[in-house]
Structure 1
Amino acid sequence: MPELAGDWEQVAGVDEVGRGALFGPVVAAAVILPKSAFEELAAAGVRDSKQLSSYRRSKLAEQIQAIALDWKIGYANNKEIDQINILQASLLAMKRAVTKLKVQPQMCLVDGKWLLPELSIPQQSLVKGDERSLVIAAASIVAKVWRDDLIMRFATKYPAYHLATNKGYGTAQHLLALQQYGPSSLHRMSFSPCRVGNQ
């Protein structure tokens, strides 16, 4: 994967997951990798998290976190998503991940077409960045594993919605549960499938 950030030594890859889910937060990761690790991680199979099994993602996330110069998670919860909309919440989650980093990146590579608002660090947006940049792919894996683990913990508290299998996304089973039981306090009420009681 070509890295598109020039000769910077410390580049943060930034990506979010859970944007299309009906339940829970949108979660972002910011990851800074040493340049010496790129070849090893590419050989290990780091790529867009959506192309990996959950087992491979978990193993790669451990490897990425062990090698990274720094990595941090940021998120925006369902109430914030409802207040400011999912796009703005996604950008906020990514900005929170970046601003938590202890190692200051010289450049941020941000997945998607939008730049992060009011960020003092130079940044470059990259459409399909998780396919084109190894450091963004690493961030997508870390964010996905962290969010999936969180949703698995919620699954025991909210068993009606089958979260263990759908991770909060709008599967047929999840939509049926919303119709039967209504939304929980962690559902995104600005998403129309969650407003079943008002239809």
Structure 2
Amino acid sequence: MLIGGIDEAGRGPIIGPLIVAGVCMRNEDVDAIVRLGVKDSKKLTPTTRLRLLPEILSRAQRIVVECIPPSLIDKYTSSSIRGGLNTLEAMIIALIISKLNAKTIFIDTPDIKPQRFKEVILSILRNDYNIDNVDIVVSHHADVQFPIVSIASVIAKVFRDSFIHELHSFYGDFGSGYPSDKKTLSFIEKCLRKGSLPPIIRSKWSTLKKFKKTSSLTLDDFLR
């Protein structure tokens, strides 16, 4: 039996893309990966994730990875679209489901109401892809509850780490991209002082507003 799992990496950072990954596997292959020590990617070191990836790639029936750029994230963050970023993620998840070819798919939800998120995905599947025969299980902490989602989590994190590494080579070391990272905040402040934000920054993220209080150059000054 083929089952699918979908998870994301990079929803919270202020720099870089959001990566959503889907994977389809036979149950016995999922069990084999579990025996190698797979779990939620956030609990694994980068070295361990890279070690697991070749085994995942060799056993997966299908892998789909979608990269959502900061510009699109900004559009849904700042627009009046109902659901905002959750709606965008539901659209990407529906796209991945349409490519996975699995009848049962487990999904980690960003919505505080899993059933609402599930209904949005099912609606998109019916209306945009004419798919109504897939069973989806939407849950909080699905990456901990369901090994197939843990595997998708590893894929998403490895791909995002790779993207961030490439961005470092072009823009310099801005750290992890998360608002809690002092190196990331220092990079953003330098960009504001220079008067330009590179396209890797999510310009509508609330973190930027904090610079109104911490920098002599306000965000309003920059946007003017």
TM-aligned CA distance change 1:39 to 1:108, over 3 Å: closer
TM-score (norm 1): 0.85
Query: 1:46 offset after TM fit, Å?
Result: 0.8
Q: More deviation in 169-178 or 92-101?
A: 92-101
2:49 maps to 1:28: no
- 2:8 is aligned to 16
- 1:108 is aligned to 105
Q: More deviation in 175-184 or 115-124?
A: 115-124
**Aligned residues of 1:78 and 1:186 also touching (Cα < 8 A):** yes
- 1:6 is aligned to none
2:73 maps to 1:84: no
Determine which of 12, 30, 46 is the counterpart of 1:38: 30
- 1:175 is aligned to 185
TM-aligned CA distance change 1:155 to 1:110, over 3 Å: same
Using the alignment, how far apart are the partners of 1:83 and 1:22 within structure 2? Answer: 14
What root-mean-square deviation, in Å, do the aligned CA atoms of Structure 1 and Structure 2 show?
1.7
Query: 1:123 offset after TM fit, Å?
Result: 1.2
**Aligned residues of 1:12 and 1:105 also touching (Cα < 8 A):** yes
Give ranges in structure 2 of 5+ residues lacking alignment. Answer: 78-84, 126-130, 212-217
TM-score (norm 2): 0.76
Q: How do 1:135-150 residues align onto structure 2 when only pairs under 5 Å count?
A: 135-150=148-163
2:140 maps to 1:127: yes
How many residues of Structure 1 are paired with residues of Structure 2 in the alignment? 185
- 1:189 is aligned to 203
Q: Give every structure 1 segment of 4 or more consecutive aligned residues whose post-TM-superposition deviation is greater than 3 Å.
A: 194-197
Query: 1:189 offset after TM fit, Å?
Result: 1.2
| 1:8-28: CA deviation from partner (whole Å, max 9, x where unpaired) | x22110101100011121111
Using the alignment, how far apart are the partners of 1:75 and 1:98 within structure 2? Answer: 15
Higher relative helix content: 2
Query: 1:38 offset after TM fit, Å?
Result: 2.5
